[in-house]
Amino acid sequence: MLRLNTQDRQEFRFWLTRRMTQRFMPAIEQSAARLEAAQPGVAATDSTSQQILTELKRDAFLQKADFATPFDTQASLRPLGEEPMLITDAHLSILSRGALQISFEDKSDPQQLKSCQLHLQVSLVHGMVHLMQQAAEKAQWSLSGTPSDVNEHAKPSEKEAPRYTH
């Protein structure tokens, strides 16, 4: 479960499946690299330079970040309700103001589509990526493969069409 608090004491709760996390992590890391490269005074045009710059910026952020303070569970408002929103789709857009817009969608019930948009500055993106990586490691989710490699032992028979479920 991904829980985010805002400065005005709102809490957003999301369920991320392993498959969704596996698809989401490379996209958010790439978006962070593009955000860093778009900063004024930065001349990282090729992907290798962008990756190095992003790693340096992430390391600098992580050295200053406060991960020792426990998560504040005393939020006064939960705009998405008490139950976490199951993320079935995510869309990332880099905004002109140097922020990342993340649109999470829950399409699990066609009668009740839900969505939520987050606008995060690059430092918060680095923090979110770090915490999601730690959670994935703790859960022993191997995120290094592609989504089609998630369960390499469960290969469908030749007669059976492949099925993908969350």
Q: What is the mean pLDDT of each run of 10 residues along the chain (166 residues)?
A: 87 94 93 79 69 78 78 82 94 90 94 93 89 91 58 40 50
pLDDT value at residue 148? 42
Q: 75 lies in which domain range?
A: 2-86+123-149
What is the pLDDT at residue 66? 77
One-letter identity of residue 121? Q
* DSSP codes joined into one string, 61-107: HHHH---SSPP----SB-TT-SSPEE--EEEEEE-TTSEEEEEEEE-
Coil, helix or strand at residue 160: coil
In a domain, 102, yes or no: no
| 91 domain residue, yes or no | no
Q: How many domains does the chain have?
A: 1
**106 in a domain, yes or no?**
no
pLDDT at position 150 is: 40
Q: Give the type of residue at 140.
A: Q
Q: What is the pLDDT of residue 60?
A: 80
Whether 166 maps to a domain, the answer reads: no
Structural domain includes residue 112: no
Angle at 152 between CA 146 and CA 155, to 5 degrees: 120
Q: Is residue 107 one of the residues assigned to a domain?
A: no
pLDDT for residue 41: 66
Residue 81 forms part of a structural domain: yes
Domain presence at residue 71: yes
